[in-house]
Amino acid sequence: MKKLRVGIVGCGGIANQKHFPALKSQSELCEMVAFCDIIEERAKKTCEEYGAEGARYYTDYTELLKDESIDVVHVCTPNVAHCPITVAAFEAGKHVMCEKPMAATTEDAEKMMEAWKKSGKKFTIGYQNRFRKDTQMLHAACEAGDLGEIYFAKAHAIRRRAVPTWGVFPDKSKQGGGPLIDIGTHALDITLWMMDNYDVESVTGSVFEKLGHLPEATQGNMFGAWDPETYEVEDSAFGYIKMKNGATIFLEAAWAINMKDSREAATTLCGTKAGAEIIGGMSKEGGYDLVINKTSHGQLTEERLSAGGTIAFFEGGSDKEEVIECKQWLEAILNDTEPLVKPEQAFVVTKILDNIYKANQLGHEIKF
């Protein structure tokens, strides 16, 4: 079987922590043959560490895309660069995995969708949290109708104090926003996927910049002090999403907030037959717990399922979410099947997040 030839654009944190190890674990399906980063030393280093024989490195992604032998491109850049690179990759005839979120704005996401549809190639977004054991369990329960009609949900992406102090996370010009677009996107993706409902009626929300400029001595950040002078994004944001069938989602996202319990890439679902919640995040050791609550023989009961794994993707075995995500993505290309994370779904996530920011700026609800 011919191995897929993969090129990676962006050789920073998410590429090194997630994509490179995952692709390396699938050496029977693919080989990494091209690496691009605006920092030449970084591209060269990763090429030497992960590249197949004859692999090349670049500082200009347009040069990488000229290589007709490359089958697949992974886009691992800051958010605002997702659109131009993805569009160019489709125009060059490549399959594309783009890191989450799809784009920083709805307009950019629309351009990516249009380019994908014209290309005839495969497209997916890096929502690896769908591949955790607990989310797979809960999704199976939702598909089986165990919860009944899910009419209310909460999407949780709350960190008490965990502002990322590396890379370009606090830079609005490169990321488009803060915790809402960074970690809120995971929580919203999981919640919509569980509900299997992407028909949005309206969105409103509030975005806060209250703690981002705290003096370093008062921050208490788990990643060390951030620079209050260069912190340009929100520290917390909240969205209220109403679906066309009346179902409602409350989305909470924060890198820094005075709230004791953290939940990240987690969801709470309320259905007509039962409810469920995934409990986990940076303040909880041991991964995620899944709790299903219902009524049995006239009594209120809880069923608790515990699954290993965490949101981080370091040094994983074959059952780690980023490895499973990578394998199914490559197999979708080789077998001409659909990847689990569909572009149409990821597009709705980006549109909702973008409109929460816009609703806050305009001061009123936005109809879809």
DSSP label at 315? S
Tell the CATH superfamily of the 132-321+347-367 domain: Dihydrodipicolinate Reductase; domain 2 (3.30.360.10)
Q: What is the pLDDT of residues 85-125, one digit of tens each?
A: 999 999 999 999 999 999 999 999 999 999 999 999 999 99
pLDDT of residue 2: 86
Contact 125, 103 (CB under 8 A): no
Residue listed under structure tokens 């010009």:
173
Q: What is the pLDDT of residues 268-287, one digit of tens each?
A: 999 999 999 999 876 556 67
Helix pair angle (184-195, 133-143), 10° resolution: 30
Half-sphere exposure of 361 (CA within 13 A, CB side): 7
* Fold matches, 4-121 and 132-321+347-367: no
pLDDT of residue 284: 56
For 214, the token pair is 């705290």
How do the domains of the chain map onto residue ranges?
4-121, 132-321+347-367
Q: What is the CATH number of domain 4-121?
A: 3.40.50.720
